[in-house]
Structure 1
């Protein structure tokens, strides 16, 4: 048997657990209809059957006192027990030679797909029609390119890929509409829950044609000269702001005391203006760098409004930024929004200093400065999926930072092998606890306040709505 054979992933259909009051382990199906006993050493090896390790790699991770063919015999045992749906003879068959002729029975990639190589040693497979992406390593790219030339069985044998792993890859390609005849699945519409009111989006239009017409007129913004000028302007503004911080705070307290709730609506409207310009910063920056790679036809495909806690704001779909190869360009696309807010805050500070105390410009510029700084603080929070989060993703190079950090701890708790690099593992280990605590605190606080207010002020109505919703939610619906 070839020691470079990749041991398949058995975790999808089998679970490993230790017997009570025994050193033996049981490999069982989730429904416990099938179970087989294994020794502690075999169980240790089985934890590496994740579809990522070869026979030789698993053998090296085990004790040196074990026989050199220990993993090979374990594989044969799994086959004998019908845990692996693989014939033993397949393990010794020679690898077929890839053919240059298309295989009509194999899945075909859409001709419009684009391969984009990143300097971080991975590839982006982009579907420009359906706006979907896959991040893939070099080996997976090679396998995908062979889909049209080899049958799935031949690919598994040629590249030592477990059939289950190839099946998962094909499912990913189909789910992202990379294969001919496939479309992205529509999100399944579940029943309404009150939590959906906390965050929802309303797409409005495709801004790309308008951005394309105007981005060239703004190309001076992304020059070194402007960057130096902007840096100087923001630095001077920061120094002035820090010098006047006591006065700024005092004016704020005075405005709240004298005008109170009358400031709420103007503040919200100015915050909406700031956020809208913020989103344009993202959009124009992506469009500027997209023009440097015209063959990719990168676009800002959507703009709209989203509601968070019933508060409206603008959003822009800049997911094509993942296709920018240069790291600093991806960072700037994310950072452009916050830079716009800082520029607005600095301009408002200068207007406030130059206006007459008590005038409409004095109050408006102060509120504008406050709205810009407030939204900056909100956006830079890396624990919520705002700009701070995506900036952390761009800076670290760890896509799907939150989900991967939770998965990292999930693998630790289940004692599964960690696939992350040491640097990434340290970042994920640090991020997950803070993110988890933040999410629990925010949603717990909101839920507590809403429930408390409802039952204190409108108890009958609140209880009636809760009962009606429970009946609606738990009542079976037609399939």
Structure 2
């Protein structure tokens, strides 16, 4: 309440006899134990929320009492809690702007036209202030929703809720049962030209069902819905309905039901699509149903169900917390805390009315929603910019103004002109500049830990692989797999019928040449020298064949544990020269292969102080390692599928590449690390988190490098 009880402008309005319009509807709400009164203008659909004191004043506006009489009765009944004359004038202004106030004076047509233009400009300004979601009203869906509502008898509505629970529950069970098939090779199944076309067809239909769910819930609860159109979400047309009529519902659970109705309809469609996807044969229909599942899951989780954006989840959270205008109130509360505790404002500062345990929700929501909006805005700009450069730049500037520029300008204007800061303006400017300077100095000058994160896979050295020295047929396994062996121990026996024939032929040839040499030595010395040369060549060939025959018994290359997949299939199997047949594993000889992107490779090469590892199955255990060697050229080939998205990693595969060798979408550099210490991994092929620790540097340098690389990569021609 302001300190002045009387107003200098009161004489102008004290004889006015105001009343509420007949189109005004009253609804009583209870928020956190306090009663509030909501006035709705049925013509425009606008709402005005009044507390108990304000409603005491409004209830006296019957068109017969003058405003002076209304104030006198308010002072008589409310005592010290009675509003001042300025507060009553402010209340009348709000009623007038909400178009629910009628007076005995002649209407000012110019004022009505000015108010209409002001309302239109405010709506246009609201649309322009959010470049990522522009709305275009198209039609009135109330008649269609009425027809749909009449097709659903009210007696069946409770059973309809149970049917929805059963359907969505079965869909969740089905998704868990077929999760491997649903998520396998997700990138190549979604981000292809054909599947993206199917997604473009499925998304608007799914969103239309979503929005009709909101409208149908309103209709079933006795309200109306008079606006439906298109919302251009990142230049993509998406249907929407105006469900603001839900504010007229008394029960918060009914209001929450309206907010959840769209997601409920979407989840029901997704559940039906899942079971149809299971039943239909592979083809275009199955691919379309898969895209429906993707669209329903991503849009529901990231946008609709997220309370940090002003979509369905936001309104559901606000109703559940019983905090109307949650975003606006959280911003006001944060501003009040800054004025009171930072700028030390004591006079003229009115604290926002708060109920117990409301303040933590407001503070957390204000900070979290701002950060998430920034993240989503930057992500959407980077998504659009590579495909439409000019549009992407305009969208980036527009979003930067809406998320940073405009709020900053408002804060500067507040510091310069706000009467609340009277007498504290110099302190407010000094503290604001000091905090801004301290934050800039911290970001630009204070060294902080710096590192590069990557993923790797535990691998064995080449010496641990048991290979076929020559092409041969397997005969038997000489050592039971799983037993320790020493280097040189025979592991596998092979045979080569062609080699046997060649050896027998070489032995016969050598015996023949030995007989001819013995005869020539007694007859012709020149002929003897020729035969002797042939004999040496034949004996050399025989020695080579005997050496090859000895290699048919494949020995262990190193000490370790003999491991062989499917040893029962080895007898009779044909192996080419160099084929992998088995492994001899020794954890002390394991290495680690990791890949680093082109943007981070220079820092990993030149500025790495140490390397830290954490295995996926034991994230709390820190392993030591050192940088052993680097493959100097960039490549798209991955050392293991475990590093790809399909294997649980973070690297996307090129769907157009051959399936035999996994190919990454971007070029990568391979590094080999040598494990140190006594704690060693036990599983080959295990994925490991790798951190290359660099020298400390300020945040400005740490942020500048990836932003510059991201900009160059995004806008490169």
- Provide the TM-score with structure 2 as the length reference: 0.46
Displacement of 1:310 in angstroms is 0.3
1:348 to 261, 273, 277: 273
1:409 maps onto 2:325 in alignment: no
| Deviations 1:177-228, CA, capped at 9 Å, x for gaps | 0113556542327899986642211111111122223311123696222222
Change over 3 Å in CA distance of 1:451–1:221 after alignment to 2: farther
Displacement of 1:303 in angstroms is 0.5
The residue number in structure 1 matching 2:98 is 176
1:331 maps onto 2:252 in alignment: no
The two structures, once aligned, show a CA RMSD in angstroms of 3.2
Aligned residues: 359
1:360 maps onto 2:284 in alignment: yes
Displacement of 1:326 in angstroms is 2.2
Change over 3 Å in CA distance of 1:302–1:192 after alignment to 2: closer
Query: Structure 1 regions of 5+ residues with no counterpart?
Result: 1-6, 9-48, 50-78, 91-102, 291-297, 471-479
Change over 3 Å in CA distance of 1:395–1:192 after alignment to 2: closer
Alignment of 1:21-40 (within 5 A): none
1:229 to 157, 160, 163: 163
Change over 3 Å in CA distance of 1:195–1:323 after alignment to 2: closer
Change over 3 Å in CA distance of 1:288–1:442 after alignment to 2: same
Conserved in 2, the CA contact under 8 Å of 1:221 and 1:227? no
1:129 maps onto 2:53 in alignment: no
Conserved in 1, the CA contact under 8 Å of 2:15 and 2:66? no
Change over 3 Å in CA distance of 1:336–1:356 after alignment to 2: same
The residue number in structure 2 matching 1:142 is 56
Conserved in 2, the CA contact under 8 Å of 1:197 and 1:310? no
Instruction: Tell me, in whole angstroms, the C-alpha distance in 2 between the residues paired with 1:108 and 1:279.
Output: 37
1:269 to 193, 197, 201: 201
2:221 to 276, 289, 299: 289
1:186 maps onto 2:119 in alignment: yes
The residue number in structure 2 matching 1:245 is 179
Change over 3 Å in CA distance of 1:170–1:202 after alignment to 2: same
Displacement of 1:118 in angstroms is 2.5
The residue number in structure 2 matching 1:475 is none
Conserved in 1, the CA contact under 8 Å of 2:16 and 2:67? no
Displacement of 1:145 in angstroms is 2.0
The structure that is strand-richer by fraction is 2
Alignment of 1:451-466 (within 5 A): none
Instruction: Tell me, in whole angstroms, the C-alpha distance in 2 between the residues paired with 1:441 and 1:129.
Output: 38
Change over 3 Å in CA distance of 1:434–1:376 after alignment to 2: same
The residue number in structure 2 matching 1:14 is none
Change over 3 Å in CA distance of 1:398–1:192 after alignment to 2: closer
Instruction: Tell me, in whole angstroms, the C-alpha distance in 1 between the residues paired with 2:232 and 2:390.
Output: 24
The residue number in structure 2 matching 1:60 is none
Change over 3 Å in CA distance of 1:419–1:458 after alignment to 2: closer
Instruction: Tell me, in whole angstroms, the C-alpha distance in 1 between the residues paired with 2:125 and 2:45.
Output: 27
Conserved in 1, the CA contact under 8 Å of 2:149 and 2:216? yes
Alignment of 1:382-461 (within 5 A): 382-415=307-340, 416=349, 417-446=351-380
Displacement of 1:163 in angstroms is 1.9
Between 1:112-121 and 1:167-176, the stretch displaced more is 112-121
| Deviations 1:88-122, CA, capped at 9 Å, x for gaps | xx9xxxxxxxxxxxx97222321221112224421
Q: Over alpha carbons, which structure has the higher Rg?
A: 2
- Provide the TM-score with structure 1 as the length reference: 0.68
Change over 3 Å in CA distance of 1:436–1:265 after alignment to 2: same
Conserved in 2, the CA contact under 8 Å of 1:275 and 1:375? no
Conserved in 2, the CA contact under 8 Å of 1:219 and 1:288? no
Instruction: Tell me, in whole angstroms, the C-alpha distance in 1 between the residues paired with 2:363 and 2:141.
Output: 39
Displacement of 1:127 in angstroms is 1.2
The residue number in structure 2 matching 1:372 is 296
Instruction: Tell me, in whole angstroms, the C-alpha distance in 2 between the residues paired with 1:458 and 1:338.
Output: 35
* Other structure's SS at 2:309 match: coil
* Other structure's SS at 2:193 match: helix
Between 1:227-236 and 1:312-321, the stretch displaced more is 227-236
Instruction: Tell me, in whole angstroms, the C-alpha distance in 1 between the residues paired with 2:275 and 2:393.
Output: 48
Between 1:221-230 and 1:238-247, the stretch displaced more is 221-230
| Deviations 1:404-457, CA, capped at 9 Å, x for gaps | 111111111111534211232222122111011112233345556767887xx6
The residue number in structure 1 matching 2:21 is 110
Change over 3 Å in CA distance of 1:279–1:86 after alignment to 2: closer
Instruction: Tell me, in whole angstroms, the C-alpha distance in 1 between the residues paired with 2:173 and 2:146.
Output: 37
Change over 3 Å in CA distance of 1:234–1:221 after alignment to 2: farther
